[in-house]
Amino acid sequence: MIVVAGGSGTRLGGEMPKQFQMLGDRPVLVHTLGVFDGLDITREIIVAVPEGYVSHTWEIGRGLSKIKDVVSGGTNRAKSVFAALKKLPGDTDIVLIHDGVRPFVSKELIKAVAESAKAHGAAVAGTVLTDTLKEVDSYGQVVSTPDRQRFWRVQTPQGFTYKLIMQAYAQGEKDGILDHVTDDSTLVERLGVPVRMVMGGSDNIKITTREDLVLGELLLAD
């Protein structure tokens, strides 16, 4: 299990990166880690954080027994994930990768992604679009109206067999594209491997702005 929390969180403001800012009585990242720490399917957790925040993460994560290691992430998300992947034991079966700033992920969704990944090799949480899409050109003129039923908003967790995700990241590094990848399943798709979508939830928000943090407080109060 990898929880990637390597972002600087500049859009949220404040002195600390977004994943370390308080949500209720605990940092956002601790809420997220707590969900996975309490799952029976989680064997161990590797956390990727910004440089300089390793010891701080160990400190706030005290009491979470499944944190195996905290690594200093790379210069972007993909490199942070790859650094964490290299810390997993070679006999790992299924790898789940989750954003550290999605603290409201449900245990049911986590298990559904894990089961789908075990059955198909690769699975991603997401939600279907409800808004109409428009494709526009560089002048802002409408080119087409795609069928929205064919498009999903991607969330995490994303799940893969260990061998597949390691192969995908190794190939991505070899091809020099890790600086441009923001989604783990994209690297798997490049190998020609199908990725299954698993229906996510509207509460599985990603906290990146001050407005998201306010919404998170409301969800926490429910």
Domain boundaries along the sequence of the chain: 2-126+154-221
Q: Where residue 56 falls among pLDDT bands split at 50, 70, 90?
A: very high
> Do 32 and 105 form a contact (C-beta atoms < 8 A)?
yes
Domain 2-126+154-221: which topology?
Answer: Spore Coat Polysaccharide Biosynthesis Protein SpsA; Chain A (3.90.550)
The model's pLDDT over 88-128, given as tens digits with 9 standing for 90+, comes to: 999 999 999 999 999 999 999 999 999 999 999 999 999 99
Residue 199, classed as helix, strand or coil, is strand
Instruction: Assign 13 a pLDDT band (cuts: 50, 70, 90).
Output: low
pLDDT classification of 8: cutoffs 50, 70, 90: low
Residue 11 in this model has a pLDDT that exceeds 80: no
User: CA-to-CA distance for 218 and 12, rounded, in angstroms?
Assistant: 17
Q: Is the pLDDT of residue 10 over 90?
A: no
Pick left, alpha or beta for residue 52 (phi over 0 → left; psi -120 to 50 → alpha; otherwise beta): left
Which position has the higher pLDDT, 99 or 75? 99
**How far from 191 is each of 97, 113, 170, 181, 187, CA to CA, in Å?**
18, 20, 11, 14, 7
The reply to whether the predicted model has a pTM over 0.85 is yes
